[in-house]
Amino acid sequence: MSIPFFYEALLPPNPGLFTLSEESSKHCSIVLRMKTGTTIALTNGLGLKCLGEIVTADKKKTVVQLSAFEQMPSPNPQNSIAISFVKNAARMEWFLEKATEIGISAFYPLIADRTERTHFKKERWEQILVSAMLQSQQTYKPVLHDPIQFKQLIQQPHNGQLLLAHCEPGEKKSIQSIDQSVNTLLLIGPEGDFTPSEIEMAAKAGASMIGLGNTRLRTETAGIAAAVLLQHR
């Protein structure tokens, strides 16, 4: 059985006694019913990982003795996805959870010309990212950017390559043919796809056009397909 994994943003870098947050304390002592002497794993979501042995089990202030610190290497390359809001908020949350488990490093909630509804619940989405990070035993929490307009995003400087997936006719590359050694930002459009003018704008900004297969995918399905292909090129 794997050691339970907890997230503590303010995890200290050195061994010593540490009091878990109230949320972690409750989960540890009430939900998992852990007792004194039990070992847990902790991460700060920035690559730092350590072990902690429970010294005091309490639903509000569980104290652990920290040890065995390790700074894990950051993902290289780092793959990010900019994805349009969809009308069904649950579908966006599902995408965030699964793409985090797959290993995507950052998310940009995207507002395109055909985006119909925006429902940005930052605190809830951050919790989804944390939960998915812990579930998949990762030590880096993806960056959740604030919502951004399509035009603004493609005009920003990018540390790596820019890709755009769309359903319009035209020459497209496969993700498998894209350089695997550099950071990648891939844009996924809304229900109804990107407009021709947005596709042209992205091409002028240096984006490569890519395809995600021969079937027409929902926005969140396209996001998951892109995540898998990016992470396993």
Per residue, the 3-state secondary structure of 123-149, as one string, reads HHHHHHHHHHHHHCCCCECCEECCCEE
pLDDT tens by residue, 176-196: 888 888 999 999 999 999 999
Q: Mean pLDDT over residues 212-229, rounded?
A: 92
Number of alpha carbons in the 13 Å side-chain half-sphere of residue 168: 15
pLDDT band at 51 (very low <50, low <70, confident <90, very high): very high
Tokens of 38: 């039990």
Instruction: Kindly give the interhelix angle for 122-135 and 89-102, rounded to the nearest 10 degrees.
Output: 40
- What is the predicted pLDDT for the residue at 1? 54
pLDDT at 233 over 80: no
**Arithmetic mean of pLDDT over the chain:** 93
- What is the predicted pLDDT for the residue at 82? 98
Tokens of 173: 């590359």
pLDDT band at 34 (very low <50, low <70, confident <90, very high): confident
Q: Mean pLDDT over residues 147-168, rounded?
A: 93
Burial 61-79 (b: 16+ CB within 10 A, else e): ebbbebeeeeeeeebebbb
Say which DSSP state 6 is in: E
Q: Mean pLDDT over residues 8-32, rounded?
A: 91
* Residue for token pair 């297969």: 213
pLDDT band at 138 (very low <50, low <70, confident <90, very high): very high
pLDDT tens by residue, 52-107: 999 998 889 999 999 999 999 999 999 999 999 998 999 999 999 999 999 999 99
pTM over 0.85: yes
Judge residue 53's burial from the number of C-beta atoms within 10 Å of its C-beta, 0-12 exposed, 13-18 middle, 19 or more buried.
Answer: middle
Find out whether the peptide bond into 77 is cis, omega within 30 degrees of 0.
yes
Under 8 Å between Cβ of 123 and 199: no
- What is the predicted pLDDT for the residue at 12? 93
List the domains of the chain with CATH numbers.
Answer: 5-71 (2.40.240.20), 79-231 (3.40.1280.10)
